[in-house]
């Protein structure tokens, strides 16, 4: 298995699949969202789920576990007041209150390393429950 980048702060590795999936989402628009997870045993950040171009933000929210942390990126398409089509990529750090303390610490300390690998993120949202990352939050941040 080829490794792309090592995150020096936590000793985690980001797989090539993470970077490649992100680039496909960013440039080819084949994915609407990507969910990443950390495998604690292998110390790898891997792709957990990929949402197709036809999926929505609600599909992303439904795919996040209620008792474990995850990272996600979401490609938000919208039309500006000037009638221009735009796209902004959101990075979501999902850390629900029901998740283990060890997982919360691991995800918090690994977040910046993954963000450096995923070049082109416009906004970041940190959420501990679904109301903190609702679609209205995403729309408000993008405008």
pLDDT tens for 4-34 read: 455 444 568 999 999 999 999 999 999 999 9
- Output the six-digit token pair for 113: 């390393």
pLDDT in tens, 61-97: 999 999 999 999 999 999 988 999 999 999 999 999 9
DSSP string, 86-102: EEEEEEEEE--TTS-HH
From residue 53, give the alpha-carbon distance in Å to each of 11, 50, 141. 33, 10, 21
What global pTM score does this model have? 0.90
What residues contact residue 20 under an 8 Å CB cut-off, 6+ apart?
none
Query: pLDDT band at residue 143, thresholds of 50, 70 and 90?
Result: confident
Contact (Cβ atoms closer than 8 angstroms) between residue 45 and residue 16: no
């Amino acid at each position: 298995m080829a490794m792309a980048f090592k995150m020096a702060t936590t000793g985690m590795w980001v797989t090539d699949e993470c970077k490649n999936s992100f680039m496909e989402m960013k440039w080819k628009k084949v994915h609407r969202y990507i969910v990443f997870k950390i495998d604690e045993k292998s110390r790898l950040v891997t792709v957990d789920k990929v949402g197709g171009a036809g999926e929505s933000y609600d599909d992303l929210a439904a795919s996040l576990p209620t008792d474990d942390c995850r990272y996600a990126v979401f490609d938000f398409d919208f039309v500006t007041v000037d009638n221009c089509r735009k796209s902004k990529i959101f990075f979501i750090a999902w850390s629900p209150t029901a998740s283990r303390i060890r997982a919360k610490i691991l995800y918090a300390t690994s977040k910046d390393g993954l963000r450096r690998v995923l070049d082109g993120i416009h906004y970041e949202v940190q959420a501990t429950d679904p109301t903190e990352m609702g679609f209205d939050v995403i729309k408000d941040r993008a405008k």
